[in-house]
Chains A and B, each alone.
Chain A
Amino acid sequence: MYEFQSQIGFPILTLLTFLPAVGGLAILFMRGKPRLYKSLTLAVTGVNFLLSLVLIAYFDRYSAEMQFVEKAPWISSLGISYHMAVDGISVLLIMLTALLSLIIVPASWNYIKDREMQFFAAFLFLETGMIGVFCARDLFLFYVFWEIMLIPMYFIIGVWGGPRRIYAAIKFFLFTFAGSLLMLIAIVAIAYLARANQYATPVFDMDLLEKATFSYSVQIFAFLAFFIAFAVKVPMWPLHTWLPDAHVEAPTAGSVILAGVMLKVGGYGMLRLCIPLFPDAVVAIAPYILVLSLIAIVYGALVSLVQKDLKKLVAYSSVSHMGFVTAGIFALNVIGIEGGIMVMFSHGLLTGALFLMVGFMYERLHTREIADMGGLAGPFPVMAGFLLFFTLASLGLPGLSGFVGEFLSLMGLFTYNKAMAAVASIGIILAAAYLLWMFQRVMFTGLRDDKWYKFPDFSLREMASLLPLGFLAIWAGVYPNTFLQLIQPSATRITEKIAPYLADHGGAIERLFASLGGLF
């Protein structure tokens, strides 16, 4: 019945995935002081982070195969199984998820004062959903985890958010759910089309689905359905409008997870499902996606430039940075895909850190308006130091993680099309502009309020939550090989899937229109 590949000796993926949910359930049934829930959450997320390190340590980084495989029948008569496995991309993102989930616990320690119990339980359920998405190798299971992520986040924004939280929460839910439903129908369609015959059970196992071939028009439609679901999450222009609302209203911890992990799930889905399952369609549609990515890069940067709200600025900068992710991925070569993944990883660290900092600043100043700040470097020198570091990392300073990803992504894009790479590089210039200008207005210029000198600078707790992110940002910037090694076999494997279709690239667009015309 239940079997797992004995790489470690215990089913680590199941443990990683469900430990937080068990913790969350325990919290819901607990009586006692808030401190108790907080400590338990800290313990659970801490153990989970250690487990994710164990996972990386035991992971065979020279293999492109799925590892730590676990399989058990679930709903056999519908062809659905509990199938978990990871490759290098998943492992990296699982580590990022576990790290950010751990960090937000001390960051929310004093910030959340209402219904703490439900807050921390919601975060633990969220972690289960996120890690599950990165582990699932069964399409049905993937969808279940995908949706499980949605509910806690909806509550986190809606209950603990800012003044317009209800609007933001429902917009977030409906955007994501619309994409999910399209994906659900596509999942069902391909699972039934992949059957050997009419009486066989449908196929939800991704290993088997990757071997199946679908007709061109099925590929196009299924690809679009999956792609829209993921593009909402990423979010790609023009499906990004939920993001600024959600970020501005969400509590700090919610923003960190939203930007740090949930946006990555979109990019991960494209890599894990869109490209391997529908290679023919990908090749045909990639140019259009690249155009959208370029729009996102430039548009996100331009809009960031004019933001008055610090949190909104970081939110729109995410749209721009995530444009590099999709641009890298759909350049459809190894370097581009590696770049896309590195941007995801680095963006998770840096934007997570920036949102944390915005939260810490808000706790002191009770404002996020850039115009209300100014001269903060005087009263808060440590804060200024941290903000400078993460700002520079985010704008792509060589030697820090932001540079590596964007550089690789641009290289991949350059191989695909030189003009596109040129347009994308505008985004990097603009990033420097809006980030440095923001830093100048917030930290320098005249001091707005003398009473800020009475407020404390960063506490140990706050520094402790930022330091690991900074440490990893330096590591990934100085010696990116540690991370690139991890993802290279998987990235190569993905490009191998598309390689046969890249050859007849010239005719792909005509075929696209021909197949669409055949419908009417």
Chain B
Amino acid sequence: MQHQLLAIMPELMLIATAVVILLVDPLLPVDGRRGLSWLGIAASLTAAYATWISRGEEFTAFSHGIALDKYSVFFKILLLVVAAMAMLLSEKHLFLKRHLLGDYYGLVLFTTVGMMIMVEAIDLITFFVGLELMALTVYLLAGFFRYQERSIEAALKYFLGGAFASNFMLFGMAILYGLSGSTNYQEISDAVRLGPAPAGPLAIAVVLILAGFAFKVSAVPFHNWAPDVYQGSPTPAAAFLSVGPKIAGFAAILKFFTLILGSQSGTWVPMMIALSLATMLVGATMALLQKDLKRMLAYSSIGHVGYLLLAVVATGHTGRNLGMAAILFYLAAYAFMNMGAFGVLVFMANRRPGFRDTLDDMAGLARRYPWAAAIMSLFMLSLTGVPPTAGFLAKFYLFSAVVDSGFAWLAVIGALFSLVSAFFYLRVIIYMYMREPETELVESGAGLEAGKSWDLDLGLAIAAGGVILLGILPAPVVNAAQDAVVKLLGN
């Protein structure tokens, strides 16, 4: 038996670093604060390494509060990589916008800790602590540009909706506790499966929890916050919060619905199907109408949540292993391609002070910045699901799970929305490669120099590399995803 604190070593490292950042920040001169991002990145990567070396061990800690297994290792490493990438994307942007608070990196680290706890929790209370830690810090990140009305508006919208969602979820958990007399996932699962749990309250609990999760991952009809929040937030923060909370949310959804409520799949599978169809529909059609790329990416991420929910449907049926592994892989692919797409927007905003994130501003990008246009195309094609990119393999894997579980018609509908989505992703490529800018954007030489940053370039290179590697040599990640879910289902 390990020491309990060793179990949460990576989390402790992040918290310690975050506290150091917050304490040191006021003492440093303004320009000196930039190095704090590297402290945060180093902490994330060290924590990822610590998680990696503990991958062989499986145990629970804090009186069955958290479980360390391959499932949580997979997600924790993914989340830590996402956090590190988010910090790489942020540093220059914050500097240029003169928001030089090191707090930002502290918040990213705290969010990450919250998400890691959500992923490894096997107890309702622990889970909720993680959820709230993530949620509260993410609201702050959304409102980080506190002199911009839009950023504040984003934070407020996110906060108000998020608070409701958390409470719905808490209420659902309370009902589960009432029905089973326990907050432990396994015990609730046993009680729900074996005990004569009354159908009515159980269904209410399922609905409430599902509604809470739907908000957290921005599924229709609880998606309305996403476009406004993504648009208003600082772009690098939007990159982070369009990916991190979704990963953690789906990690928890899988635990809730396959582990706790696996025996109740008759109740939630129809709800999940409806939710998924509505989400795909709204995501694909609304994205068609957007001129603002951050809003477009928001609807696109709603569409991707729709696909992920399809795979959750599959886990409710025969294709449990496959469906779960597909979700894990999809989230990994999504992390790289979505952060990359936002990263290119950060890149543009850094180079062109007047950049407004619109399609028109992307016109003729391929001439001025051929590499930025090339990797943006890569991300767009990956989001569409065209080989040889990560997005294709993710979609392929996911459709496999859906078809295998007997829902071929759902896969066909998913493919249809995929076709619709091709239209708006390709439109970005059209603007970049096939149109010329209507007004030549003024780029002063000094501004151009100032906008250069090799850490942003590194972040984009990592995202692009991830998209290509997961598309061409996905076997290690596929195997890791498959290993990760076996134990979870064995419980």
Contact = CB atoms under 8 A, between A and B. Distances in A.
B475 interface: yes
B434 interface: yes
Interface stretch (B21-29, B197-205, B397-405): B397-405
A101 B412 CA distance: 36
B355 to A, nearest CB: 23
A158 B430 contact: yes
A189 B408 contact: yes
Interface in B8-23: none
A170 B392 CA distance: 19
B191 interface: no
Given A74-B475, A78-B400, A174-B423, A184 B415 contact: yes
B419 interface: yes
Interface in B455-480: 474-475, 478-479
B422 A144 contact: no
Contact of A159 (B381, B392, B408, B433): B433
Contacts of B339: none
B399 A188 contact: yes
A170 B430 contact: yes
Chain B interface residue number, banded: 35 or more
A158 B479 CA distance: 39
Contacts of B422: 173-174, 177
B484 to A, nearest CB: 13
B482 interface: yes
Contact of B412 (A154, A159, A185): A185
B430 A78 contact: no
Contact of A151 (B381, B412, B418): B381
Contacts of A158: 429-430, 433-434
Contacts of A76: 475
B386 A150 contact: yes
Contacts of A159: 433-434
Given A75-B474, A76-B475, A185-B412, A192 B430 contact: no
B415 A182 contact: yes
Binding site secondary structure of chain A: helix
A132 to B, nearest CB: 10
Contacts of B386: 147, 150-151, 177
A77 B479 contact: yes
A185 B408 contact: yes
A99 to B, nearest CB: 26
Interface in A73-93: 74-78
B403 A198 contact: no
A188 B482 CA distance: 18
B388 interface: yes
A202 B404 CA distance: 10
B426 interface: yes
Nearest to B405: A192
B399 A185 contact: yes
A141 B231 CA distance: 39
Interface in A300-354: none
A66 to B, nearest CB: 23
B387 A144 contact: yes
B222 interface: no
A301 B254 CA distance: 57
B165 interface: no
A354 to B, nearest CB: 27
Given A118-B370, A166-B430, A189-B408, 16 more contacts: A75-B475, A77-B475, A78-B397, A78-B400, A115-B366, A147-B387, A147-B392, A151-B386, A154-B426, A155-B433, A158-B430, A158-B433, A182-B412, A184-B396, A185-B408, A188-B399
Interface of A: 74-78, 115, 118, 140, 143-144, 147-148, 150-151, 154-155, 158-159, 165-166, 169-170, 173-174, 177-178, 181-182, 184-185, 188-189, 191-192, 198, 202
The 9 closest A-B pairs by CB, nearest first: A181-B415, A144-B387, A147-B387, A158-B434, A192-B404, A188-B400, A188-B403, A75-B475, A189-B403
